[in-house]
Amino acid sequence: MKVYDSSRIRNIAVIGHGGAGKTSLVEAMLFNAGHTSRLGKVDDGTATTDFFPEEIKRKISVSTALAPCEWRDCKINVLDTPGYADFFGEVKGAVRVVDSVLVTVCAVSGVEVQTEIGWKETEQKSIPKIVFINKMDRENANFDRVVQQLKDFSKKNIIPLTLPIGSEADFKGVVDILKMKACIYNSKDGSYQEQEIPSDLISAAESARDAVVEAAAEGDDELLMKYLDGEALSDEEVSIGLKKAFKADSFVPVLCGTALNNMGVRHLLDFIVDVVPSPADKAEEKLNEGTLSALVFKTLADPYVGRLNFFRVYGGEIRSDSVVYNANKEKEEKIGQVFTMRGKHQESLSEVKAGDIAVVAKLQVTETGDTLCKKDNPVILEGIDFPEPMLSIAIEPKSKGDEDKLSGAIGKLTEADPTLRIEKNTETKETILTGTGETHLDIVLERLQQKFGVEVTSRKPKIPYREAIRGTVQQEGKYKKQTGGRGQYGHVWITFEPTTEADFIFEEKIFGGAVPKQYFPAVEKGLREAITEGVLAGYPVIGVKATLYDGSYHPVDSSEMAFKIAASMAFKKGMEKADPVLLEPIMNVEITVPEQFMGDIMGDLNGKRGRIMGMEPQADGMQLIKAQVPLAEMQDYPIVLKSITQGRGSFKMEFFSYEEVPAKLAEEIIEKHRAEKEE
């Protein structure tokens, strides 16, 4: 592929709700540009940008795919993003490095949840948007209804640049508002023929044209003065004004068509070339040709090719077989062959100029969010704010010998996916994998098997319960063992009582040398080892104060080991008498939801034994609910929250304290522990 100057590059992310037809639209763009010889289809598993086995199997995108498209001597770097909430991190990575966004909306379903969430993301970053209303040929397709939904939810100036000619099975083309011509499409090759606008659409077209001219005038002060003076704007002036207004994000143009039948797509490609800003046009990120800076926005882990890093160059250029500096890791990296990818197909590049997007393989330390630059002129670009993973499962390999294999494979996957976490819980001795949702975790487990040959089993993680005592007891512990030769003798009296000052406190109040000083550390050690396993269900014991106040010893048979064992015996007997109780972790939870879901969320929290601590209104009609909820009730909360709020809610939580488990639940937990022990 030839190298393009910054002014001939367009970087655009395709976002929208799952099922709106983003991948099909990208496929149609590639076909019209001559990059494919036939239209691939998601349902057939032949789409260029859905090439992972899990994408073909599920018929959904799970990873952002790069698909450069050459149109009218411009290179359009298209980033096809997933439309499901579990993979919103992919959307965030793509949106970070593009200059505009193409929002794909289904003409039947209209504006859906992930459309709203993606839209908000672009608003926060002031990225201009184009809307393509897709599937105009489907039953119940309604262009006007979707345009009204966009206006209602976004509060932006929504202006159609094409109007549909016919709808559902009769959809056959669009009215081009800029040319004021009807364009009848040929679905076989995506071409169209211009005709006069049908009489029943002339009024709507003229109204749309007025809105376009007004938006163009508002994009340029000179044009605005001319417009307000009642002078007509030329087509060229309208084009100049539209480009400025779009770049300023002062209006959202709407085009329509059907990707599967390849209609309306050429108008979209022309608009991207004519109106969408190039990297050179973006004033807030002036490209300094002398200073190299590039941001890695995506990483793929492949067991055969190795690691693939996708990057955008913001300044300078990156050449094959050069050396760059990773400013985040403070290490130099050797760049091999730089290339672009169209789906899974690679095309070599000699260099990557400022503004362009490309890929490099086998970098040693570079990860998503890192900046590549020159060592003598280091710079760190703003990184990517990925969603925090909140749904956890415990995993272990099916084959006992696969522990090392699993560890290596998971390491590669977490390097590539910033929304994936892995940790070893030393207390429960479980390997905990945390992701953004059920589908995310399912796909990770599939990849472990397919790509790395590791089969794993998964289950809910164990809750790290604790045990405590409510009463005070004085308990004797005596260890006496006589064998031939030297015996063992240790004898202690210890007071056990509850304390809130620390997890464990040890004191001694021995009078008259009943227990010699040299055995005090052994007594403490015996107790510290004993409290790691309580008498109710084998969980660690907290909040105990132990005071050694009496005992006896034997001048020959006493030893540190004997006193350690005696202390341990005293603890186990004493705890049984001291009114033991099971404790559970309570979490501080902060949930952000749209106001209309407040009642349902609070009702659900009450059902989870939660305590509502307060509420705070947030921006955009959102509410922050603060609550304290047992961890045991929060294990599947990402799924519950998604269901209640249709994917619009988010939450975070952190440990607060341990509290007593209700008696009935405690009985079940203790019974389960006993049953497992007997097995």
Confidence at residue 82, expressed as pLDDT on a 0 to 100 scale: 97
Confidence at residue 302, expressed as pLDDT on a 0 to 100 scale: 73
Share of the chain above pLDDT 70, in %: 98
Instruction: Answer yes or no: is pLDDT of 401 > 90.
Output: no
- Per-residue model confidence as pLDDT tens digits over 566-599: 999 999 999 999 999 999 999 999 999 999 999 9
Burial pattern 230-259, b for ≥16 Cβ within 10 A else e, equals eeebeeebbebbbbbbbbebebbbbbbbbb
Instruction: Answer yes or no: is pLDDT of 613 > 70.
Output: yes
- Per-residue model confidence as pLDDT tens digits over 73-109: 999 999 999 999 999 999 999 999 999 999 999 999 9
Confidence at residue 144, expressed as pLDDT on a 0 to 100 scale: 97
Is residue 95 classed as helix, strand or coil in its secondary structure?
helix
Closest CA to 509 of 564, 548, 473, 545: 548
Confidence at residue 288, expressed as pLDDT on a 0 to 100 scale: 52
Mean pLDDT of 198-227: 96
**pLDDT confidence band for 620 (50 / 70 / 90):** confident
Is residue 629 classed as helix, strand or coil in its secondary structure?
strand
- Per-residue model confidence as pLDDT tens digits over 258-316: 999 999 999 999 999 999 999 998 744 454 556 899 999 999 987 667 789 999 999 99
Distances (CA, A) of 506 to 106, 499, 525, 552, 566: 68, 11, 10, 19, 15
392-459 CATH? 3.30.70.870
Confidence at residue 150, expressed as pLDDT on a 0 to 100 scale: 97
Mean pLDDT for all residues in the chain = 94
Q: Give domain 467-578's CATH number out of 3.40.50.1110, 2.70.98.90, 3.20.20.140, 3.30.230.10.
A: 3.30.230.10
Measured between alpha carbons, how far is 351 from 337 in angstroms, rounded to an integer? 9
Instruction: Answer yes or no: is pLDDT of 27 > 90.
Output: yes
Domain with CATH 3.40.50.300 in the chain: 8-197+250-282
Q: Give domain 286-373's CATH number out of 3.50.50.60, 3.40.50.300, 2.40.30.10, 3.40.1180.10.
A: 2.40.30.10
- CB-based contacts of 239, cutoff 8 Å, min separation 6: 178, 216, 274, 275
Name residue, tokens 């308990």: 475
Measured between alpha carbons, how far is 608 from 626 in angstroms, rounded to an integer? 14
Q: Superfamily for 8-197+250-282? A: P-loop containing nucleotide triphosphate hydrolases (3.40.50.300)
- Per-residue model confidence as pLDDT tens digits over 143-159: 999 999 999 999 899 99
**pLDDT confidence band for 428 (50 / 70 / 90):** confident
- CB-based contacts of 320, cutoff 8 Å, min separation 6: 335, 336, 337, 338, 348, 349, 350, 351
Q: Which has the higher per-residue pLDDT, 270 or 189?
A: 270
Determine how β-strand 252-256 pairs with β-strand 158-160. Answer: parallel
Domain with CATH 3.30.70.240 in the chain: 584-665
Mean pLDDT of 455-483: 94
Question: What is the enclosing helix (H) or strand (E) of 9?
Answer: strand 9-15
Mean pLDDT of 617-646: 94
Mean pLDDT of 402-425: 91
**pLDDT confidence band for 456 (50 / 70 / 90):** very high
Domain with CATH 2.40.30.10 in the chain: 286-373
584-665 CATH? 3.30.70.240
- Give the start-end residues of each E strand in 576-668: 580-594, 611-617, 622-630, 650-660
Instruction: Answer yes or no: is pLDDT of 201 > 50.
Output: yes
Is residue 596 classed as helix, strand or coil in its secondary structure?
helix
Instruction: Answer yes or no: is pLDDT of 420 > 90.
Output: yes
Helices (H) and strands (E) in the chain, counts: 16, 34
Measured between alpha carbons, how far is 233 from 195 in angstroms, rounded to an integer? 23
Domain with CATH 3.30.230.10 in the chain: 467-578
